[in-house]
């Protein structure tokens, strides 16, 4: 369970993961070393699982973002999951309930690349029976802050 200082730490780091321990400590009322110790503990507890840069897909030429609902032969779920974990164009995969088994977030350069990705790659992944797609027109929210839910 996170105490108030831990909640403050994760909130600050969600805003800016590059904060120095000194700056982070100042923001939450701790000196550098106790702050560092708490961050280290949060990492050991896997509350904090890493630090990364947030990139712009469009700035890197990835202009198509799509959500793909997939139905698979459930006996092949492990092979399917292994295949998508190693697939560079699949940004995220969620196992879901309901009519479909998975929803994928896919990025592609353009509609031609996306079409090829569907026909050549996705349709041939282990266990895929059918899928449907929705191309997003704009991203409304991404990377919501977990700390705001605490």
Separation of alpha carbons 51 and 54, rounded Å:
10
pLDDT band at 7 (very low <50, low <70, confident <90, very high): very high
Q: In the CATH scheme, what is the code of domain 58-135?
A: 3.30.70.920
Q: What's the mean pLDDT in 1-23?
A: 91
Q: What percent of the chain has pLDDT over 90?
A: 83
Model pLDDT, residue 145 = 83
Q: Is 11 exposed, middle or buried (0-12, 13-18, 19+ CB in 10 A)?
A: middle
Q: Please name the residue that has the structure tokens 């897909």.
A: 57
Q: Residue 62 and residue 10: Cα distance in Å, rounded?
A: 30
Whether residue 90 has pLDDT greater than 90? yes
* Residue positions counted in the chain: 150
Within the chain, strands assigned E span 64-72, 90-95, 102-108, 128-135
Domain segments of the chain as ranges: 4-44, 58-135
End-to-end C-alpha distance for the chain, whole angstroms: 10
Q: What is the CATH number of domain 4-44?
A: 1.10.10.10
* φ and ψ of 106, to 5 deg: -125, 140
The answer to whether 4-44 and 58-135 have equal CATH topology is no
pLDDT score recorded for residue 60: 94
User: For the whole model, what pTM was predicted?
Assistant: 0.81
* HEC letters along 41-56: HHHHCCCCCCCCCCCC
**According to the model, what pLDDT value does residue 38 have?**
94
């Amino acid at each position: 369970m996170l105490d108030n200082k831990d909640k403050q730490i994760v909130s600050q780091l969600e805003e800016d993961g590059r904060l120095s321990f000194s700056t982070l400590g100042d923001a939450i009322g701790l000196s550098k070393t106790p702050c560092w110790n708490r961050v280290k503990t949060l990492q050991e507890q896997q509350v904090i699982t890493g630090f990364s840069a947030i990139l712009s897909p469009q700035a890197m030429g990835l202009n198509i973002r799509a959500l793909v609902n997939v139905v698979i032969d459930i006996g092949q779920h492990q092979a399917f999951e292994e295949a998508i974990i190693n697939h560079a164009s699949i940004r995220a995969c969620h196992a879901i309930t309901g009519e479909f088994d998975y929803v994928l977030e896919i990025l592609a350069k353009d509609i031609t690349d996306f079409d090829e990705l569907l026909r050549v790659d996705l349709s041939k992944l282990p266990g895929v029976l059918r899928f449907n797609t929705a191309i997003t027109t704009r991203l409304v929210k991404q990377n919501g802050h977990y700390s705001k839910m605490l």
